[in-house]
Structure 1
């Protein structure tokens, strides 16, 4: 059944650069070029709160598993912001990057923040430290170009880079495993299928589903346009989805489209570049009711699909 638009939200003025579900799927956080973060009820589509404090457009968001801590980055201000969600209050501003910060991640309990920057570094922060200088635990500087996306597991940091590599760092030993993806700039890497696989999107318009045990590609998908922008993708238990520069959301059935690589659905709901997509958490838990997802675009809109 073709996904349908449940809500089309237009709370932002200007591009919506990032949008995420919280762990429960009940709420959505969106970040825009208008320097605001919006908290939205995913069922009703109603806006609940607006977070103000960034001096530049929001580039990345991440939320702790209990939804108490939100972390954001605002690009050119070179800082990482930590928010108390219930109080709608900025609690920390972490400054150490020398260029714009494009992506962030946070541990389940909110104690560790990871940030990735155009300065080619990944920085690891301890939120339990009482002051910002001491909060910086580690600088990972193996990348030869800007960091495009970040993901965390219980023991790993996964960082994709415009240099064409995805680096997986072991948090305990510091060991790094480097995987190359044909030399093309990697714009997004997400850990999916309960940690068994990695979804990797590159700036040649290709998406690969990779087995994390041996690094081999299990499937490849194409059809969307990704040539100039950091287009984000995601996967549920059975589907892969990506934004696209042509204004559509592309959705592939992992089993059905395994050989052809052609999209099952090409969804129109935006009139600008679709910057990001994300599946509802229940879709990733193999819930038969959980095929909802969101998409956010440069036209200022967020669409909730079902």
Structure 2
């Protein structure tokens, strides 16, 4: 007699607070995992960028010298080093925006191998400020206050535009590269088919009316996550659209979030602190001693 196959377990979600990091750099505008998830980047209103150990939460390096608040950062893998951070890491964004957030509505591209300060290309299709920018291989994804998500295929020289109608606060690609995710000031997160622009899902319930807040997908594209002005992170099942988790972070606005590239770990930023969340409570030294 054949026994029925066990039902697959639902993906775990990061809902246990592992540690809180007091960044001491004013308000934390953005928090990011690096490319392999071993390090954290925090962007401060005091014009600094800080690099932290992902496992211990200890400060490794402070980068200063920026003329404005640091609103976002990114890191890239380097052929010679396992992990490479460009100078201040925020330079990755500055390669494309004259000021993070690009209030002049342009995306500017520089050749980092050249010593010339003039951009090699200016993308000026947006009718209002650029609020969010993501790069994946040969594609560039932007969100604008004019309510449009623009995807530039730099290899083919093509522009694809999706009209959302509400100012965009954040854009990103899905992990499989087939979809785009965008959040907007109508308190809605939208999942679109990258090729056709077809609406695949709408996710609501959070509050996003007056702040530039983040959204993202989990490492395996199973869930959609968003910051909220009510002090929570909202997590929806991507396919069903149902709310899977309402994570209480604190009493202020959750400004930023970042999902680990491979593990079930989440970073959140609120005021001057960063919170690290996991699917299970972290073992302490006492736990290890008891286990032996």
TM-score if structure 2 supplies the norm length?
Answer: 0.83
Structure 1 position 122 matched with structure 2 position 107: yes
* Match for residue 35 of structure 2 among 3, 17, 23: 23
Quick one: structure 1 residues 238 and 248, their matched pair in 2 at CA, closer, same or farther if it must change by over 3 Å? same
Q: 1:242 aligns with which of 216, 226, 230?
A: 226
Give the alignment's Cα RMSD to 1 decimal: 2.2
CA distance in 1, matches of 2:275, 2:24: 12
Does the 8 A contact of 1:201 with 1:207 survive in 2? yes
Greater relative contact order (CA < 8 Å, ≥ 6 in sequence)? 2
Given that 1:63 and 1:71 are in contact with CA atoms closer than 8 Å, whether structure 2 keeps it comes out as no
SS in 1 for 2:272: coil
Work out the CA distance in 2 between the residues paired with 1:94 and 1:198.
22
Tell me the equivalent position of 1:292. Answer: 265
5 Å-filtered alignment, 1:96-115, equals: 97=98, 100-102=99-101
Runs of 4+ off more than 4 Å: 93-96
Report if the CA contact (8 A) 1:151-1:159 is conserved: yes
1:1-306 map, 5 Å: 3-66=15-78, 67-70=83-86, 81=91, 97=98, 100-102=99-101, 117-133=102-118, 136-181=119-164, 183-236=165-218, 237-255=221-239, 257-258=240-241, 261=242, 263-282=243-262, 290-297=263-270, 299-306=271-278
Q: Distance in 2 between matches of 1:224 and 1:172?
A: 37
Unaligned runs of 5+ in 2: 1-11, 279-292
Change (3 A) 1:265 1:94: closer
The unaligned stretches of length 5 or more in structure 1 are 74-79, 84-92, 103-116, 283-289
List per-residue Cα deviations over 1:238-290 (Å, max 9, x = no partner): 111111111211111223x42xx4x22121223321111111000xxxxxxx2
Secondary structure in 2 matching 1:281: coil
Question: Which protein is richer in strand relative to its size?
Answer: 1
Shift of 1:57: 1.5
Aligned residues: 260
Q: Deviations over 1:124-176 (max 9, x none)?
A: 1111102323xx11000000000011111222111111101011112134321
